[in-house]
Structure 1
C-alpha cells in the first residue's frame, strides 16, 4: 500500500497551485470548490478553481446537468462565462517489473512496447462506485467535452514516499498534469470499462505519457511547463491594448455575453486577455483611469488594485 494518499497530495500542493492559478486569473478573483466524498462521486473531480461569478451550489448543479452522456441543450443553467480549472489527483506507482501484456478472465492490460523499467502508472476509475451513476473517468471526459472554457486535468505528482514531501520547497516540476483533451473516448468498443486502465509514464518528467490498457499517446506536462506554455508572458504596448479594447467593445455590440461564452471565446484566448490586463501598464492620456477600470470590470471581475496603470 502506498505511503501517500490523494488527500495528502492535495494538501501538499494547495499553496503552489493557488499561486499558479493566480498567475493566470489574477489575485483575489479565485475560489476553490472542494466536493465532499458523496458529491465527488457525482462530479468526478477533487478540486475546482474558478473565478467568482458562480456560487458553489450552482457550479455543482451545472456540472451534474451536463455530466450525463445523454444530456443535451437547452440546459436549466446555461450561463458559464467564467474560467475553471478542474483537478483530479492521482497516486502514481513506481513499477520495477514489466509484463508486456496480461489477461485474466475478462481483464486485459498492455504496457507500451518501448517502455523500460522503471516506469510509472496510475489507475483510472472506469467503473461506477456503489453511490454513483457514472465512472469517474467518464464524468471527467463528459465535462471536458461540454465545457470548452474549462481546463480539466489528472494531477499526477511524482512523489512515492512520505519523505518526498518533507523538503524545503515544493517542486512544481514533479506535479505532472495530464490533459483530458488527449483522452480516448471511453465509449468506443476498444475501451472496455472492466479492463485494467491506467495513465502510464516512462519517467518522472511525464514525457511519453500513454493512455492504457491499449496504449494511446496522451498529452502531459509539468505544472511549471503549463504556466510557461499557456500563460502569455509577452507585453503589449499602449497602442496594442487600445486596439484590443476597441475590438472587444465592437464585439460586445454584435453578440450577447451568453453566446460569446458558449460559441466564440476560446479558453486559451480568453485567458490570454486576462493575463494582458493583469500585467500591462497603460500610459496613454486618451484613456482615463476611470474608463479603463470600467472596461475591465465589464469584461471580467478584476479588482482595481490588480491592474497597473
Structure 2
C-alpha cells in the first residue's frame, strides 16, 4: 500500500475524531464532520472539515461552493470551522532549482501544493484554501504527517503528534501564477518554509490547534452575549397592558451612562 493523501486521511481519522469529541464536542449543537467526494472537493478546496453547524452535507456544500465561487469565500463573522487538506511529505536527497537556501538538511522534506487552476472552477486548490482562511473563524491547515514508511500505516493506534499542521495564515499569498509551489521542512519538527520565494511559516500540533479554535469559540460566545444584552436594552417592550411601549434603556437610572464605541468603519 502506497502512502497517498487518501490513505493518510484514513489513518489519522479515528484519533482526530476522538480529539475533537473530547475537547470541542461533536454532534448536534456542536461541531460536525464534513467530507466530500473528489468531484466536489475541487469546488471547496479541502479534504475534510469540522464545522460548528447543523447543516446537512448537501446544504453545507451548496453554501461553501456558492461563497467560494461568487464572493471570494466570504463567510459569516460567527462561522467557525477547521479545514484540513492532507499532503504527502516526501524525503528528498537532491536539491533542485526550487530548493530554498534555508533548507540545509539532507534529506530534506517537501510537500507539493496544488496551484494549478481547475478547469471547472477557475481556481486552484491553494487559492480556495487561501481565500477561505481570510475568514476570522476559518482555521485552515495543510496536514503534513511525518510518516515515510508504509509499515507505519499498520499501527492501529496512530500518533497525532506525527502530524504537522502548516497554518495557511502564515502563507504569503494565493500563488495564483499557475506555477509550482511547495512546503519545505528541514526536519520533522521544523517550521514550514513556503516556496518558491522562501517565507518561513508556522506549524502547530493537533492539540495546539483545538486550543486555538476553543479560544475563538469563547470570543464568539462573548460577542453573542454582548449582542443579546444590547437587544434587551434597546428593543421596545410593553411595561403593562395599555401602557406605551418603551425600552429598558429608558428606565435605567439617570446616574448610569452607557457608552457606545464605534469601530473605524462606522466613523
TM-score under structure 1 normalisation? 0.65
- Residue number among 209, 224, 229 corresponding to 2:192 in the alignment: 209
1:115-126 residue pairs with structure 2 within 5 A?
Answer: 115-126=104-115
Distance verdict in 2 for CA 1:42–1:254, change over 3 Å: same
Higher relative contact order (CA 8 A, sep 6+): 1
Any unmatched runs of 5+ in structure 1?
103-108, 233-244, 257-309
Q: Distance in 1 between matches of 2:33 and 2:91?
A: 30
Deviation at 1:228, TM superposition (A): 5.8
Aligned to 1:220: 203
Answer yes or no: is 1:181 the counterpart of 2:169: yes
Q: Distance in 2 between matches of 1:5 and 1:215?
A: 25
Aligned to 2:38: 37
Count residues with an aligned counterpart: 225
Deviation at 1:55, TM superposition (A): 2.5
Any unmatched runs of 5+ in structure 2?
216-220, 233-267
Supply the RMSD in Å over aligned alpha carbons. 2.9
Deviation at 1:130, TM superposition (A): 3.7
Q: Distance in 2 between matches of 1:72 and 1:193?
A: 17
Aligned to 1:237: none
Q: Deviations over 1:261-304 (max 9, x none)?
A: xxxxxxxxxxxxxxxxxxxxxxxxxxxxxxxxxxxxxxxxxxxx
Distance verdict in 2 for CA 1:192–1:43, change over 3 Å: closer
TM-score under structure 2 normalisation? 0.74
Secondary structure of 1:200's partner? strand
Q: Distance in 2 between matches of 1:163 and 1:10?
A: 16
Q: Distance in 1 between matches of 2:76 and 2:144?
A: 31
Q: Distance in 1 between matches of 2:87 and 2:5?
A: 6
Asked whether the 8 Å contact 2:164–2:204 carries over to 1, the reply is: yes
Answer yes or no: is 1:153 the counterpart of 2:141: yes
Aligned to 2:154: 166
